[in-house]
Amino acid sequence: MSSPAVLAAETTRYGTLAEELKANFANIDDETLTDMLEGLSELPDLLKAIIRSSLLDEALAVGLKGRLGEMKDRMDRLIYRSSRKRELVCASMMRSRQLTVMAVAATCRLTPEPPPLWDREMRSGDTPDSRPAGVRHAHFPYEPM
């Protein structure tokens, strides 16, 4: 897109041309003057290009805003699903009295309280009242494969 300096220079040139045409043709009407300047100056085309670019930027911003909202909703659903799955594993481990489950991608251990980092990041909306009575925390430490 054109720089502000190019636009400023073309605006100055347009004004200078308009003054010269008015001085040389005293009886010129505004419509004729505009037509003549349009052929002599790039200013109208620059302004049209800037307006189109501005409208495109606004449309992209609106689209991104909607997409960000959708992605936020998806993230919230994934975090909620993860939390529910952890609760199911924890409840099942308690009923079966299994304190540790080892899998290829992770190890799960029942602990009296969740590790501080997991509690802060993954369960920020969780309260003791929202968990089933007596359910402890299933701890899944992240271990990359």
The encoded tokens of residue 114 equal: 């969740």
C-alpha to C-alpha distance for 49 and 55, rounded to whole angstroms: 10
**Extents of the domains making up the chain:** 4-69, 81-139
Q: Which is more confidently placed, 57 or 88?
A: 57
Give the phi and the psi of residue 25 in degrees, each rounded to 5: -125, 85
| 137: confidence class by pLDDT, cuts 50, 70, 90 | low
Q: How many CB atoms lie within 10 A of CB 128?
A: 7
pLDDT in tens, 28-53: 888 888 888 888 888 888 999 999 99
CA atoms lying within 13 Å on the CB side of residue 31: 0
Instruction: State residue 48's pLDDT score.
Output: 92
Residue of 47, 37, 58, 38 lying closest to 6 (CA atoms): 47
| 120: confidence class by pLDDT, cuts 50, 70, 90 | very low
What's the N-to-C CA distance of the chain in angstroms? Answer: 47
Which range of 61-70, 101-110, 124-133 scores highest in mean pLDDT? It is 61-70
Please state the pTM of the whole predicted model. Answer: 0.52
Secondary structure of 4-54 as H, E, C letters: HHHHHHHHHHHHHHHHHHHHHCCCCCHHHHHHHHHHHCCHHHHHHHHHHHH
pLDDT in tens, 53-85: 999 999 999 999 999 999 999 999 999 998 898
Task: Show the CA angle centred on residue 71, arms to residues 69 and 77, nearest 5°.
Answer: 105
| 132: confidence class by pLDDT, cuts 50, 70, 90 | very low
Give the phi and the psi of residue 114 in degrees, each rounded to 5: -75, 155
Tokens 């502000």 correspond to what residue? 4
Mean pLDDT of 102-116: 70
Q: Which is more confidently placed, 38 or 110?
A: 38
| 106: confidence class by pLDDT, cuts 50, 70, 90 | confident
Instruction: State residue 112's pLDDT score.
Output: 67
Q: Are 82 and 124 in contact (CB under 8 A)?
A: no
